Amino acid sequence: MSYNYGKQFEKKFASDFLNTVPNSTLDRLYDPMGGYKFITNISDFIGFSQPSIYYLEIKSHAGNTFPFQNLKQYNKLVKKVNIPGVRAGVVLWFTSHDKVYYIPISTITKMKEDGKKSIHFEKSIQENYNIIVIPSKKKRVFLDSDYSVLTELKDGE
């Protein structure tokens, strides 16, 4: 049985984002828990580093594939695609493989159009989908990750 590192990973992400993305700010949106299943935020975090605003959903997943059905925020995030200066996507940590990726919502849309139902930790990159590898260094449990690569994203990513 694998341990769920979700909330701890969110804290680690926030720390790494603020330490590696220059002149950035990051806000954690209120997490509606306790039975409010019909209330959802657009994402876990909203960040800013001039000239871009980031809508970031943070996920950790044990195993080889992350099913799209686990991304409940997809319909809200997809509305942010193609707005100049807006970056919307998922930061996904494959805990079993010590890999952290940024997947733009536009890439998930393309994968769904291609009939894909999930993101594979390796095959999805080999299939040339636009998935950004976040440079990371393994520590005891978590990884130190450099999210400055997100500043290089273009509109639609």
pLDDT per position as a tens digit, 101-154: 999 999 999 999 999 999 999 999 889 999 999 999 998 888 999 999 999 999
pTM of the model: 0.91
* Of the options 3.40.1350.10, 3.40.50.720, 3.10.20.30, 3.40.720.10, the CATH number for the domain spanning 6-151: 3.40.1350.10
Residue 27: its H or E element: strand 24-28
Label residue 34 left, alpha or beta by phi (over 0 means left) and psi (-120 to 50 means alpha). left
- Show me where the domains of the chain are located: 6-151
Positive/negative CA dihedral, 110, 112, 116, 117:
positive
Quick: pLDDT tens for 48-93: 999 999 999 999 999 999 999 999 999 999 999 999 999 999 999 9
